Amino acid sequence: MSAAKIYLEVPEMSIAEIADRLNYSSSQHFSYAFKQYYGISATEYRKRL
């Protein structure tokens, strides 16, 4: 998950691309896992940067 936070700091990368790079089966699965781990959605995390 720490790699996900680093990728989210790159605004040119989409959530789908990040999910693919981290070998998640879908962006939905990545988003769910991110929210379970950090308690905040990946999109919301990116907005707060």
Helix residue ranges, H only, 1-49: 2-8, 15-21, 27-38, 42-48
Whole-Å CA distances, 4 to 7, 8, 10, 46: 5, 6, 10, 11
State the pLDDT at residue 12: 97
State the pLDDT at residue 20: 98
For residue 3, how many C-alpha atoms fall within 13 Å in the half-sphere facing its CB? 9
Q: What is the pLDDT along the chain (49 residues), one digit of tens a residue?
A: 999 999 999 999 999 999 999 999 999 999 999 999 999 999 999 999 9
State the pLDDT at residue 13: 98
State the pLDDT at residue 11: 96
Contact 5, 44 (CB under 8 A): no
Q: 């990116």: which residue's tokens? A: 46
Secondary structure (3-state) at 2: helix
State the pLDDT at residue 32: 98
State the pLDDT at residue 4: 98
